[in-house]
Structure 1
Amino acid sequence: MIFLRIFVSKFREDNIMKLFLLTIALLLAAFAGIAIKLWAKKDGKFAGTCASQSPFLNKEGESCSMCGKTPDQYAICNETGHSK
């Protein structure tokens, strides 16, 4: 409660309202960007981005948890979740 009093005393109510509106606007822009990406993509899906196929994240060369292929076999993977 003390923190709230200090916060409110340092900022006037109009500044808090501006900050709140700016936060809401940025959140709406982020959601709109995701919605536009989904709408513009074929079949309305994100492309498969299996993290286990990334050489930066998978240094041990473990197989994919979705299809079971190793990173060197990923190029010939036709699993629907790995659509490109």
Structure 2
Amino acid sequence: MSLLFTPVGLSLYLLLALLVAQAARHTRMGFWGFFWASIILTPLVTGFFVLMTQSVPAKPTRPTMKRESSSSSAARGAAPSTPSRSRPPR
């Protein structure tokens, strides 16, 4: 009987597939893509592909500007701002 069709062999195969998928989290195919690829192919082949692929760069975050409330600017002695005529007040 083949080692793969025993409970220990099947568990090792799934564990290797999970390890390959975990290593591929930050690639284009992601965790689930490489997990199913390693189930269909073998974890060794897909593990080689994970080593050859590049990580997807993190998405740049947009800088947020903090809005000051009128009470905090008035407390510092600044004149309260008047609403612009181009936009309706909120």
Name the TM-score, length of structure 1 as normaliser.
0.30
Name the TM-score, length of structure 2 as normaliser.
0.28
Task: Pick the structure with greater CA Rg.
Answer: 2
The structure carrying a bigger helix percent of its residues is: 1
